[in-house]
Amino acid sequence: MFSYQHAYHAGGPADVVKHAMLSILLERLTAKPKSLTYYETHAGRAAYRLDAPEAIKTNEAAHGIARILPLAAQAPAILSPYLTLQGTPNRYLGSPLLAANLLRGDDALVLCEAHPREHAALADAMAKHANAQVLQADGPAHIPTLLPPATARGLVLIDPAYERQQDYAATASTVAAMLKAWPKAVIMVWYPLLPEGRHVGLVNALENLEIPATLQAELCWRKGKGRGAYGSGQLILNLPYGLEDDLTTALEWLLPHLTADGDDGLLRLGFLHPPR
């Protein structure tokens, strides 16, 4: 337990895909005046240095945000809030700080992180965001007990490290528990695309929930699967109306830039269940 540290992966291609999509969702949700609540089950430390030994060791950001930022001026407008927030050299904002910057003062954030050191760093990083509640807790167990929020509108990000095979089934159960308490929740689930295909049971389980407007987006930066993750998978349940076009625009633009040199990338994007 807890061998995973996101500092080794910050700003890599999976982060770019997941965080670009998250930013687009938050832009859309905050376009309406009513306040909302943002929850994260697995928040991480929120602020990462790309010149830290962990980031240098894997060099993942070189294949992710470092490829995208120099092209920011050519990117579709829908990506500009994400790219603007990531514009400081050698610094990468994780999902909690991206969300805090995109949300408004009367929106609330509830962030769970179980690792003591990551939780302490998260609490530091969020200190100046008075609307953020930072909890050292088992996010998948704790957040369903808090639902539904007083705001009625909101978004949940579920972004586990999937260190154990059972984490896939556990994620499906967490989503079911959340929807039972809060049927209208917009829930974004991230999963890695690995050669072993471990995500298939999770995707099937979430498809079987039959939630309207369940969108699946998978961006593969390598088709010859090789070792390690070859792509980033996202499922969004209760996707806000019409957002698939913005997500398609963003991911189609990102695809060739995130694709490994000499390989063909692949984007799969579509509804598992259409909007009502």
Contact residues toward ligand SAM (CB under 6 A) are 2, 4, 6, 40-44, 94-95, 112-115, 118, 138-140, 159, 161
* Active-site residue list: 159
Minimum distance, C-beta of residue 264 to ligand SAM, in the bound complex (Å): 27
Which lies closer to ligand SAM via its Cβ, residue 51 or residue 106? 51
Rounded to 10 degrees, the C-alpha dihedral 102/39/32/84 comes to: 20
CA pair distance 147, 60, nearest whole angstrom: 35
Which lies closer to ligand SAM via its Cβ, residue 127 or residue 152? 127
Which bin fits 26, alpha (ψ -120 to 50), beta or left (φ > 0)? Answer: alpha
What are the tokens at 111? Answer: 């962030």
Minimum distance, C-beta of residue 50 to ligand SAM, in the bound complex (Å): 13
CA pair distance 202, 175, nearest whole angstrom: 10
Minimum distance, C-beta of residue 226 to ligand SAM, in the bound complex (Å): 21
Answer for the pair 106, 113: CB distance below 8 angstroms, yes or no.
Answer: no
Residue with nearest beta carbon to ligand SAM: 94
Minimum distance, C-beta of residue 275 to ligand SAM, in the bound complex (Å): 26
Which lies closer to ligand SAM via its Cβ, residue 113 or residue 246? 113
Minimum distance, C-beta of residue 45 to ligand SAM, in the bound complex (Å): 7
Say how far residue 257 (Cα) sits from the centre of its chain: 19
Which lies closer to ligand SAM via its Cβ, residue 3 or residue 74? 3
Minimum distance, C-beta of residue 29 to ligand SAM, in the bound complex (Å): 17
Which lies closer to ligand SAM via its Cβ, residue 118 or residue 246? 118
Which lies closer to ligand SAM via its Cβ, residue 6 or residue 222? 6
